[in-house]
């Protein structure tokens, strides 16, 4: 059951424990406060008392869980959780935000992003854009029944940047998941603060042209760094330069190789990238 909840809410094991604690403490606080309020009325326990108690705790519960969520570090989760409940109760139609994933390689991050939004009709993955006809991400797209766009460099860099195809798919957000070409200014201007990238190191170190994959990890090891990690950032006109959204770290040991360090970094990518994207598109 706990594993199903963790998958449904897309949280880590630690966060799941804190969320359950918030529910429990918030519920207890709500019940306690409801009884105290009813004591002030002087009513004897009965049908009217029971009806009023239900109404009071229904009104108090969101306030109580939000209060408890703050010290337990789960405010963001419960804010979204309560918003979803309100939308369902009011039958409020959710805004649709369409995503295009740009990828050049195997597509492990793309798969995690697809998994994160599976079944969420408010955030469709409408397009996979790829510059490599042999990339594994194209197989993922075929398996997931997601349309693909195979691009060539001259048109992408110097032509119309395929903006017509992006508009045709009504793309709202562009997510880079191992995409190795620089994004041209024309696309950046068309999608201001709507293009997000993940870099396998702690920027501003080990970024820039040519710094990708094992080259980054080898540079970190050669510099004898004690830690590495990921940087999720907005994309601007300069390689690996845009405003940082989140960084997460992992240790670098003397025994690490580019492959072992890559495995640590990939683990961070798969945990944080889909979650951050969900936060950004649902703001």
**Three-state secondary structure call for residue 60:** helix
- Show which of 69, 90, 111 is a domain's final residue: 90
Helical pair 258-281 and 108-116, crossing angle rounded to 10 deg: 30
Range of the domain at 44: 2-90
- Residue ending a domain, choose from 90, 116, 142: 90
Looking at the structure, tell me whether residues 9 and 73 fall in a common domain: yes
Residue 49: what pLDDT?
A: 86
How many CA atoms does the CB half-sphere of 5 hold within 13 Å? 10
Count of CB atoms situated within 10 Å of the CB of 100: 25
Claim to verify: residue 15 and residue 85 sit in the same structural domain: yes
* Distance in angstroms (rounded) separating the CA atoms of residues 123 and 282: 9
Evaluate whether 101 touches 177 at the Cβ level (below 8 Å). Answer: yes
Question: What is the C-alpha separation between 218 and 214, in angstroms, rounded?
Answer: 6
Q: To which residue do tokens 């194209």 refer?
A: 138
Question: Based on the domain organization, do 30 and 159 belong to the same domain?
Answer: no
Q: Do 68 and 108 fall into the same domain?
A: no
Query: What's the DSSP call for residue 227?
Result: E
pLDDT tens-place string over residues 204-229:
999 988 888 899 999 999 999 999 99
Cα end-to-end span (Å), the chain: 29
Are 109 and 58 part of one and the same domain?
no
Between 9 and 233, whose confidence is greater? 233
* pLDDT tens digits along 165-200: 999 999 999 999 999 999 999 999 999 999 999 999
Q: What is the pLDDT of residues 239-255, one digit of tens each?
A: 888 999 999 999 999 99
| 110 and 39 belong to one structural domain | no
Phi and psi torsions of 46, nearest 5°: 180, -160
Backbone angles phi, psi at 268, to 5 degrees: -65, -40
> Quick one: 86 and 107 in the same domain?
no
pLDDT of residue 3: 72
Same domain as 20, residue 141: no
| Residue 155, pLDDT score | 96
- Helix 258-281 to helix 214-222 angle (10° resolution) is 120
Residues 114 and 203 in one domain: yes
Asked if residue 9 has pLDDT above 90, the reply is: no
**C-alpha separations of 124 from 91, 108, 116, 160, 267 in Å:** 20, 18, 11, 24, 24
Instruction: Give yes or no: residues 70 and 113 share one domain.
Output: no
Maximum pairwise Cα distance, the chain: 80
Of 67, 90, 113, which residue sits at a domain end? 90
pLDDT tens figures, 61-93:
999 999 999 999 999 888 888 887 887 776 555
Q: How does residue 94 score in pLDDT terms, banded at 50, 70 and 90?
A: low
| Cα gap 165→102, rounded to integer Å | 13
CATH of residue 189's domain is 3.40.50.170
Q: Please give the positions annotated as active site.
A: 199
Residue pointed to by tokens 């950004």: 280
Is the CB of residue 197 less than 8 Å from the CB of residue 188?
A: no
Contacts 24+ apart (CB under 8 A), 79-85: 80/282
Q: Which two tokens stand for residue 30?
A: 């709500």
Average pLDDT for 19-41 = 91
44, 173: one domain: no
Count of Cβ atoms closer than 10 Å to residue 260 Cβ? 14
Give Cβ neighbours of residue 72 (< 8 Å, ≥ 6 apart).
18, 21, 22
Note whether 223 and 166 are same-domain residues.
Answer: yes
pLDDT value of position 92: 54
Number of domains in the chain: 2
């Amino acid at each position: 059951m706990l594993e199903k909840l963790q998958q449904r809410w897309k949280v880590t094991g630690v966060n799941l424990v804190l969320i359950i604690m918030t529910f429990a403490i918030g519920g207890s606080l709500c019940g306690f406060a409801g009884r105290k309020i009813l004591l002030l009325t002087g009513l004897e326990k009965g049908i009217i008392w029971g009806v009023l108690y239900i109404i009071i705790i229904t009104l108090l519960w969101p306030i109580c869980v939000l209060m408890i969520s703050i010290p337990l570090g789960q405010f963001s989760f419960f804010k979204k959780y309560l918003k979803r409940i309100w939308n369902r109760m009011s039958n409020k139609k959710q805004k649709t935000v369409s995503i295009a994933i740009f990828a050049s390689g195997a597509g492990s991050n793309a798969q995690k992003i697809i998994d994160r939004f599976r079944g969420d009709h408010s955030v469709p993955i409408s397009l996979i854009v790829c510059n490599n006809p042999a990339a594994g991400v194209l197989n993922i797209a075929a398996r997931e029944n997601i349309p693909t766009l195979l691009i060539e460099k001259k048109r992408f860099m110097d032509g119309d940047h395929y903006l017509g195809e992006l508009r045709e798919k009504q793309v709202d957000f562009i997510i880079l998941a191992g995409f190795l070409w620089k994004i041209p200014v024309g696309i950046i201007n068309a999608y201001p603060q709507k293009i997000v990238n993940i870099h396998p190191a702690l920027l501003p170190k080990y970024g820039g042209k040519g710094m990708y994959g094992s080259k980054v990890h080898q540079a970190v090891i050669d510099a004898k760094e004690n830690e590495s990690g990921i940087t999720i950032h907005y994309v601007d006109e300069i390689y690996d330069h845009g405003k940082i959204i989140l960084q997460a770290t992992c240790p670098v040991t003397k025994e690490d190789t580019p492959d072992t360090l890559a495995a640590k970094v990939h683990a961070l990518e798969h945990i944080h990238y889909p979650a951050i994207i969900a936060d950004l598109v649902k703001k």
